[in-house]
Amino acid sequence: MIKRNLILILILATCSLGASAATQSTHVHGQGQVGMAIDQNLISMTLESPGADIVGFEHEARTAEEKTAVTEALKQLSNPMFVIQLPESASCKVIQASSEVTSENGDDGHADNEDHNEYESEAHGSFIAEYQLECANIAVIDFITFVYFGHFRNAQSLMVVLIDKNGQHRHEINRDIPILYLKK
């Protein structure tokens, strides 16, 4: 029953992110999206961020240096504690973690103030990471710190859709105040 409820919550969070993206209809450098569900002792999270925020480019990696940057970013993003920090007293352990690079061809729906070279206009690559954590003492988590900003200097903000026992909430977390406060 817990897993079924969690799956339903994640579907709702994903739909909310999709609706938000459709409403926004632009790809914005510096702004990632997070869908997070907290259900009983589980935290499930999906992070999607433009490639420019993570490795500084969005086109398919061509040079050895670019390929190394992508490989290292995927390795880092496969560790949820590289993205968020939780209190040790919550005793959380990683159940599942993965990361991948996706690409959307074309230049539709792109918005920022930078000029793009011919390579960047080919595709808009994003990094997607998915996590599931089980916490022995989830009640002690009053806030979640996004250490993500300390690792990726081009990342400026994250639009977070959180579903928990209090309902669905939207938050904008930014580099200056990288903390998501949870309602009790």
pLDDT at 184: 66
Report strand pairing: 143-145 vs 27-28: unpaired
Residue 7 confidence (pLDDT) above 80: no
Nearest Cα residue to 156 out of 146, 170, 144, 142: 146
Tens digit of pLDDT for each residue in 69-91?
A: 999 999 999 999 999 999 999 99
Report strand pairing: 123-135 vs 167-174: unpaired
pLDDT > 70 in the chain, percent: 74
Mean pLDDT, the chain, as a whole number?
Answer: 82
